[in-house]
Chains A and B, each alone.
Chain A
Amino acid sequence: MAPSTISAALLIARKDLAIEFRTRTAFFSAAIFALLGIVIFYFAWDPTAVAPVDLAPGVLWGIFTFSGLLGLQRSFGIEQADRAIDSLLGAPIPRESIYLGKAIANLAFVVAVQLIAIPAVQLFYGVPLLEHAGTLAIIALLAAIGLVAVGTLFSAMAVNTKLAEMLLPVLSLPFFVPVVIPAAQATARLLAGRPTDELVGWLKLLIAFDIVFVAACTLAFPYTIEE
C-alpha cells in the first residue's frame, strides 16, 4: 500500500475527528447510551441469582456493539449533507484511503466509548476489570477493529439505500457475532482469573477476523460508491 494512501487516510480521519470534537454530539449520545445501558442491564437481572462478575462481560460487549452502531451511522451520514462525499470522491486520492480514513476515525470513536464504559462497568458492577487493563486493552482493540472494519463498509452502503440508518444494524449485527462471542468469552475468562492459555484461542479468532475483514472490506469499498 502506497504511503500516500495512508497519509490521505489519516487526513480524512483527522477531518472526521475534528468535526466530532467540535460538535461532540455523536460521542456524547454514545457515551450516555453506554452508561444507560450498563445501568438498565443491571436491573434486568436478579443480582442475587446472577453474580455481577458473570453478567459484566456480556453487558460490556452488548453495549459496545450498540453504541458503536451509533457512531457508525454518522460516519457516512455526515458526508450526505451538501453531497460532501462528492468532494471526497473528486479528490486525487485512492478510494481505499476514504474507507481507511473513515475506519480510523470510527475506531477512535469506539475506543473512546470503551474508555468510558469499561471504568463505568468496574464502578457499577464492582468487577476488577482494570486489574487486567493490559490484556483487556488488547481484547478491546482487536474486537473494535473487527466491528469498525465491517461497520464502516456497511455504513457507506446503508446511506445510499431507502432505509438509510435503519439498514445498518440488520446488515452489521450478524457480522458482529464472531467478534462479540470471542471478546465476551475472553473477558469472562479474564475476570474469572483463568490462565492466559484459555484466552489464546479466542484472541486468534479475533485476529483472523480482523485480517480477513479489513482486507475484504478495503477491497470491496470502491464498489460501494455511488457516482
Chain B
Amino acid sequence: MNSPASATPAYDATPPKSAGGIDWLFLIAVLAIAAALARVIYYTPFEAVQGPAQKIFYLHLPAALCAFMAFGVVALAGIGHLWLGDLRLDRAAESSAEVGVIFTTVVLITGPLWARPVWGTWWTWDARLTLTLFLWFIYVGYLVLRGAIDDRALRARYSAVLGILGSLLIPFIHLSVYLFRTLHPRPIVIKPSAPSLPPEMLTTLIISFVAFTLFYIALVRQRYRLAAERDLLELEEGR
C-alpha cells in the first residue's frame, strides 16, 4: 500500500467564507423547533395511558434519529477523508460528531425523564438504552481524541479511523446488549408494517423530525464555519 500520508494535503487552498450577517438557516431551524414544540404542547392529544409524559417522545425520537444520522455522517466523511485527503470532509466529520453528541445527550436526558413516570425507573440496562449510552461514550472519546492531537493532518486521519471503527462497532454493541432482554417500547413508527400511531400524533412527529433535521443541519453548518475559521487562523499563524 502506498503511504497514505503523502496523499493528505496540508490544507485545502480555498479560504473559508466569512460567516458574517444573519444565519437564515439557523433562524428558520429555531422557528421550526418552536413551531413543532407549540404543536406538541397545544395541538396534539394526550396519549390515553401515559398522559402528558408521552409528549417527550416527540423530542426523544427525532433527537435519536438525528444522532444516528450525525454519526453516519462522521463515518462517511471519515471514509471520504482517508480516500481523498480533503480537510473539508474532516471538518464536516468534526462538526457532525459534536452535534451528534449533543443530540445523544438530549436522548439520554429525555429518556429517563419519560421512563421515571412510565416505567417507574430512571434507568434500566435495556438494549437500546445501553446502546445509546455507549454511542455517547464512543463519540465523546472521539472528541477527546481530536483535542489530544495538535498536528492538523494527523488529527484528521486518526479521527477518520475512529469514526469508521465506531460505526462498525454499533451493530456489535447492539447485538450483544440485545441478547439481554429488552424493556424499550417496540418500534411503533419505523418498522416494516405501517406506523401504528394515530394520524395527528404521526403528523406532530414528522413535523418535529423535520424541525430537528433542519436544526441539525444548521448547527453543523455553524460548527463547520467555526472549524474552517480556526483552520484558517492556524494556517496564518503558521502552526
Residues of A within 8 A of B (CB): 94-96, 150, 153, 157, 160-163, 167, 170-171, 173-175, 177-178, 181-182, 185, 201-202, 205, 208-209, 212-213, 216-217, 220, 222-227
Q: Which of chain A's residues have a CB closer than 8 A to the CB of B141?
A: 170-171, 174
Instruction: Count B-side interface residues using an 8 Å CB cutoff.
Output: 31
Establish whether residues A174 and B151, one from each chain, have CB atoms under 8 Å apart when the complex forms.
Answer: no
User: How close is B57's CB to chain A, nearest CB, in angstroms?
Assistant: 27
Selected from A177, A208, A212, A223, the residue in CB contact (under 8 A) with B160 is A223
Query: How many residue-residue contacts, CB under 8 A, span A and B?
Result: 90
Establish whether residues A223 and B157, one from each chain, have CB atoms under 8 Å apart when the complex forms.
Answer: yes
Establish whether residues B149 and A175, one from each chain, have CB atoms under 8 Å apart when the complex forms.
Answer: no
Bound CA span A118–B1, Å: 41
Selected from A167, A177, A213, A223, the residue in CB contact (under 8 A) with B145 is A167
Is residue B14 contacting chain A, with contact meaning CB distance below 8 A?
no
Establish whether residues A220 and B164, one from each chain, have CB atoms under 8 Å apart when the complex forms.
Answer: yes
Is residue B109 contacting chain A, with contact meaning CB distance below 8 A?
no
Establish whether residues B149 and A174, one from each chain, have CB atoms under 8 Å apart when the complex forms.
Answer: no
Is residue B69 contacting chain A, with contact meaning CB distance below 8 A?
no
Establish whether residues B145 and A171, one from each chain, have CB atoms under 8 Å apart when the complex forms.
Answer: yes
Bound CA span A2–B123, Å: 50
Is residue B134 contacting chain A, with contact meaning CB distance below 8 A?
yes
Is residue B193 contacting chain A, with contact meaning CB distance below 8 A?
no
Establish whether residues A224 and B161, one from each chain, have CB atoms under 8 Å apart when the complex forms.
Answer: yes
Q: Which of chain B's residues have a CB closer than 8 A to the CB of A201?
A: 179
Q: Which of chain B's residues have a CB closer than 8 A to the CB of A171?
A: 141, 145, 162
Establish whether residues B164 and A177, one from each chain, have CB atoms under 8 Å apart when the complex forms.
Answer: no
Known: A174-B137, A223-B160. A216 touches B149 (CB 8 A): no
Known: A178-B172, A178-B173, A223-B82. A167 touches B164 (CB 8 A): no
Q: Which of chain B's residues have a CB closer than 8 A to the CB of A160?
A: 149, 154, 158
Is residue B197 contacting chain A, with contact meaning CB distance below 8 A?
no
Q: Which of chain B's residues have a CB closer than 8 A to the CB of A182?
A: 176
Known: A174-B138, A216-B164, A216-B165. A181 touches B177 (CB 8 A): yes
User: How close is A168's CB to chain B, nearest CB, in angstroms?
Assistant: 11
Is residue B84 contacting chain A, with contact meaning CB distance below 8 A?
no
User: How close is B201's CB to chain A, nearest CB, in angstroms?
Assistant: 35
Bound CA span A217–B184, Å: 33
User: How close is B115's CB to chain A, nearest CB, in angstroms?
Assistant: 22
Q: Which of chain A's residues have a CB closer than 8 A to the CB of B165?
A: 150, 153, 175, 213, 216-217, 220
Q: Which of chain A's residues have a CB closer than 8 A to the CB of B158?
A: 157, 160-161, 223-224
Bound CA span A177–B133, Å: 12
Is residue B35 contacting chain A, with contact meaning CB distance below 8 A?
no
Q: Which 3 A/B pairs are nearest by Cβ-Cβ distance? A: A178-B172, A161-B148, A181-B176
Q: Which of chain A's residues have a CB closer than 8 A to the CB of B3?
A: 222, 227
Encode contact with A along B160-172: 1 for CB under 8 Å, 0 otherwise: 1110110011001
Establish whether residues A96 and B173, one from each chain, have CB atoms under 8 Å apart when the complex forms.
Answer: no
Establish whether residues A226 and B1, one from each chain, have CB atoms under 8 Å apart when the complex forms.
Answer: no
Known: A161-B149, A167-B145, A174-B141. A223 touches B4 (CB 8 A): yes
